[in-house]
Amino acid sequence: MTTKQTAKKLSLKEKYALMTRNLGWDTTYEPMDKVFDQLGLEGIKIHDWDKWEDPFRLTMDAYWKYQAEKERKLYAVLDAFQQNNGHLNISDARYVNTLKLFFTGITPAEYNAHRLFAMLGRQFPGAGAAIACQMQAVDELRHVQTQIHSISQYNKYFNGLHDHSVMNDRLWYLSVPKSFFEDAISSGPFEQIIAISFALEYLLTNLVFMPFMSGAAYNGDMATVTFGFSSQSDEARHMTLGLECIKFVLEQDPGNVAIIQRYLDKWFWRGYKVLGLVSMMLDYMLPKKVMSWKEAWEIYFVQNGGSLFNDLSRYGLRMPKYWEQTVAEAEHLSHQTWNSFYNFSGAAAFHVWLPSDEDMAWLSEKYPDTFDRLYRPRIEHYRKLQAEGKRYYNANLPMLCQTCQVPLIFTETDDPTRTSHRQIEHAGETYHFCSDGCHDVFAGEPDKYVSAWLPAHQILQGNCFEADANPAADGFQPESEVMRYFHVVAGQDNLDYEGSPDEANWHTWKGIARPDDAKAA
């Protein structure tokens, strides 16, 4: 007699669980805590890795299929962009300077994110978490490649895009994003995933991608828009990983809450400090502006971040420490950051300029409480100096914050005449900070941050010269030797946009060449 078995139809969730659970195993030759040796270091307690939910339920074969489809679309657009000389359709050649900053600051950071997630994929014993991290490691590598391809067209025509990886290691202002990622990658696995997947991707990445990509669209840069959207579609998965991870860890053990709050306070502040570069892109560098930094911070952090923390308050989490200060600082951040680059652009791999009358009208409309009162007079002063042929470039080395590595360029928000400066004595040395937030991060782990590679200090110690440079030689010029070490071509990649080869070329291509352009090109 045969019995007909009617198989119970499985739900998608059950099917996925059967396909993916118990793929890992408990080791027998070596104890599990030696195989996953970083898990115990932070005091985070996980009782049951199977409680991890994969919100996307994405299997590897589906992953490769989706990603391949995205790549096909992206490269079709990039090919069309190159064949049609898409670089000529941007709003103005000044715009390309935002790409120079993005390419030297963010693209190498994506590569570090790839390394970080590959390591995390190895460190988490739960199959769900491990697979999600491995997929993200591949995503990040894809982001690096698509960015290099997208921007390679610009590299044929504009200066400063020729050496992003060396510049990321050596250029002073790029030590800000670089140190952020190196700080993360040298943390414990739970801190790493909170730093990148939650603090950076969930809370702050919209501040980079949304305004920057709509900025690219506004300014006619279809290559960047396309890689931006292609990355952003992975980002949705990454943000969900961040949120799932934080909920999972908080639900596993009540003792985890205090540790996670400490990580959030730290990484919110570290991330916010990197975003200073984004603030000046929005307010000063986009020829056609999308929204002000203050508006972006209000929408993407105060409103969106606020409702997220509202949600998380049931686990006992609160808003990150010093968030109120970031709101007060939104009135000043971009103006003070751009001012510093205007002064130090002799040692930068992109060009600067003073805002036009139209730009200044926009800035006073967006910053009615601060721009006309504090920042317009300074810009007018610079204009006057420039008109008199007295353009001033600062060649000094500024004091850097030991934590975020941003120079001490900001004022107290309630007193525009005082530089914001904090310090700590530790093991017989004095360390300097830009803010209370950075002061507290250092105080939490002083022995980690005393080893920070601070560009200004390294230059003074003579560590920023090429191997063939000889500081003892007659006529040795330390400034130009440091530029050579940065791989910045002086007189070509740096200084003002006005009078640069980039400007002269742009005028020629657009048929608006002027007599003095020939000299610059």
Q: Which does 404 bind (CB under 5 to 8 A by kind): Zn ion, Fe ion, none?
A: Zn ion
Closest CA to 419 of 327, 321, 360, 339: 339
Asked if residue 401 binds Zn ion (CB under 5 A), the reply is yes
Q: Dihedral sign for Cα 408, 413, 418, 421, please.
A: negative
What residues numbered 108-127 form the site for Fe ion, per CB under 5 A? 110
Q: Which secondary-structure segment (H or E) carries 431?
A: strand 429-433
Show contacts with Zn ion in window 406-465 (CB under 5 A): 434, 438
Binding mask 107-146 for Zn ion (x = CB under 5 A): ----------------------------------------
434 binds, among Fe ion, Zn ion, none (CB under 5 to 8 A by kind): Zn ion
Q: How far is the CB of 424 from Zn ion (least distance, A)?
A: 12
Nearer to Zn ion, 98 or 420 (CB): 420
- The CA–CA distances, whole Å, from 492 to 114, 161, 372, 482 equal 32, 11, 33, 15
Least distance (Å) between residue 165 CB and Zn ion: 25
Residue 143 interacting entry, from Fe ion, Zn ion, none, C-beta within 5 to 8 Å by type = Fe ion
- Residue 469: phi and psi, rounded to 5, are -80, 145
Q: Which is nearer to Zn ion, 295 or 436 (CB)?
A: 436
d(CA 197, CA 136): 10
Please, what is the minimum distance in Å from the beta carbon of residue 160 to Fe ion? 22
* Binding-site member from 87, 100, 142, 143 for Fe ion (CB under 5 A): 143
Q: State how far the alpha carbon of 306 is from the alpha carbons of 93, 270, 311, in Å.
A: 37, 18, 9
Residue 434 near residue 410, CB atoms below 8 Å: yes
252: nearest Cα among 19, 43, 56: 43
Which amino acid is present at 515? P
CB of 140 to Fe ion, least distance (A): 5
CB of 277 vs Fe ion, minimal distance in Å: 17
Tell whether the torsion through CA atoms of 47, 20, 118 and 133 is positive or negative. negative
Q: Please say which residue, 227 or 272, places its beta carbon nearer to Zn ion.
A: 272
Residue closer to Fe ion (CB basis): 73 or 514: 73
Binding residues for Fe ion, rule CB under 5 A, total 3
Max CA pair span of the chain:
105
110 binds, among Fe ion, Zn ion, none (CB under 5 to 8 A by kind): Fe ion
CB of residue 371 to Zn ion, shortest distance in Å: 24
State the nearest-atom distance from the C-beta of 434 to Zn ion, in Å.
3
270 makes contact, choosing from Fe ion, Zn ion, none, with CB < 5 to 8 Å by partner type, with none
Q: Taking CB under 5 A as the rule, does residue 493 contact Fe ion?
A: no
* Residue whose C-beta lies closest to Fe ion: 143
* Helix, strand, coil percent content, the chain, rounded in steps of 5: 65, 5, 35
Residue 399 beta carbon to Zn ion: minimum distance, rounded to whole angstroms: 11
- Non-local (6+) Cβ contacts of 106 within 8 A are 147, 177, 208
Applying CB under 5 A, what is the total number of residues that bind Zn ion?
5
Minimum gap (Å) between residue 370 Cβ and Zn ion: 21
**201 contacts Fe ion (rule: CB under 5 A):** no
Considering only 26-34, 132-140, 215-223, 361-369, which stretch makes contact with Fe ion by CB under 5 A? 132-140
As measured in angstroms, the least distance from the Cβ of 361 to Fe ion is 36
Give the contact letters, 70-109, x = binds to Fe ion (CB under 5 A), - = no: ----------------------------------------
244 binds, among Fe ion, Zn ion, none (CB under 5 to 8 A by kind): none
Measured CA to CA in angstroms, residue 341 lies from 134, 328, 333, 495, 517 at distances of 38, 22, 13, 10, 24
Q: Please name the residue that has the structure tokens 């007189």.
A: 491
Q: Measuring CA to CA, how many Å separate 451 from each of 116, 182, 387, 396?
A: 20, 12, 44, 23
Tokens representing 143? 């982001």
Pairing of strands 411-412, 415-419: antiparallel
- Distance of closest approach, residue 144 Cβ to Fe ion, in angstroms: 8
Q: What is the DSSP letter of 49?
A: G
Give the range of 126-134, 137-145, 312-320, 396-404 binding Fe ion by CB under 5 A.
137-145
Q: What is the DSSP string of 179-201?
A: HHHHHHHTS-HHHHHIIIIIIII
Residues that bind Zn ion (CB under 5 A): 401, 403-404, 434, 438
Q: Which residues bind Fe ion (CB under 5 A)?
A: 110, 140, 143
